[in-house]
């Protein structure tokens, strides 16, 4: 059984923020709080410790009191570089990654990912949620959320080799390990829990209450 004390959370804020105008997305405010700080505070009660993955404005991030782990791979090649930075520094058996730009992520994210990994006996688990844009016969199929990922630290070497060989896609790497899936498709689950804000308009929309029609039919 994976316990809370076994998990380090890493908030990924190391991207280029291209669709947000090239700004450092982790520092964009969500209400009165920068996105990355909001995510760190939201995930903190679920895990043993929290760190941040950032590649710009490092002193600003460090001022919040969390460890900051920049990418070790050059060129900001994507979330897998953040995964690797986390695995290289992680002092617990498990690392949970999450993006800084999905501020409504579940308050029980860690425990449900841990349960999925435990049940499957897998070294890796990802979240999945109904896709409201792909209804099939009145139901919404599950869509994986690959950056919401729980992984065992023993995967560090394999991930490093995958990146050095030119690999970039999270799902291409994860399918090697029989990745477990944690389904967030229960009636009480927020349909916008994994909505990410790639633009200022999308971020503003997440401030508003979700319309009833936003809940996908199952």
Q: List, in order, residues 6 or more apart from 99 with CB less than 8 Å away.
A: 11, 12, 39, 79, 147, 148, 196
Q: Does 131 appear as a known binding residue?
A: no
Q: Does 189 appear as a known binding residue?
A: no
pLDDT in tens, the chain (218 residues): 999 999 999 999 987 665 666 789 999 999 999 999 999 999 999 999 999 999 999 999 999 999 999 999 887 778 999 999 999 999 999 999 999 999 999 999 999 999 999 999 999 999 999 987 765 555 778 999 999 999 999 999 999 999 999 998 999 999 888 899 999 999 999 999 999 998 888 888 998 876 654 544 44
The whole-number pLDDT of residue 15 equals 78
Q: Does 167 appear as a known binding residue?
A: no
Q: Does 101 appear as a known binding residue?
A: yes
The whole-number pLDDT of residue 77 equals 74
CB 86 within 8 A of CB 53: yes
Q: Does 198 appear as a known binding residue?
A: no
Tokens of 42: 């939201």
* Domain 4-214 fold: Spore Coat Polysaccharide Biosynthesis Protein SpsA; Chain A (3.90.550)
The whole-number pLDDT of residue 218 equals 43
Q: What are the boundaries of each domain within the chain?
A: 4-214
The whole-number pLDDT of residue 217 equals 43
How far apart, in whole angstroms, are the C-alpha atoms of residue 44 and residue 3?
14
- pTM (predicted TM-score): 0.91
The whole-number pLDDT of residue 209 equals 73
């Amino acid at each position: 059984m994976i316990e809370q004390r076994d998990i380090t959370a890493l908030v990924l804020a190391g991207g280029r923020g291209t669709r947000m105008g090239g700004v450092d997305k982790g520092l964009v405010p969500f209400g009165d709080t920068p996105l990355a700080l909001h995510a760190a505070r939201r995930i903190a009660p679920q895990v043993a410790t929290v760190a941040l993955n950032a590649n710009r404005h490092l002193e600003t991030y460090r001022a919040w009191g969390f460890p900051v782990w920049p990418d070790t791979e050059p060129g900001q090649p994507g979330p897998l570089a953040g995964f690797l930075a986390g695995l290289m520094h992680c002092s617990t058996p498990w690392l949970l990654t999450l993006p800084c730009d999905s501020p409504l992520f579940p308050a029980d994210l860690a425990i449900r990912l841990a349960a999925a990994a435990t049940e499957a006996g897998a070294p890796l688990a990802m979240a999945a949620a109904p896709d409201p844009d792909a209804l099939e016969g009145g139901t919404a199929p599950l869509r994986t959320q690959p950056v919401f990922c729980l992984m065992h630290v023993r995967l560090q070497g394999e991930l490093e080799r995958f990146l050095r060989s030119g690999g970039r896609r999270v799902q291409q790497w994860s399918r090697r390990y029989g990745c477990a899936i944690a389904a967030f498709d229960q009636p009480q689950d927020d349909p916008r829990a994994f909505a990410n804000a790639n633009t200022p308009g999308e971020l503003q929309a997440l401030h508003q209450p979700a319309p009833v029609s936003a809940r996908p039919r199952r």
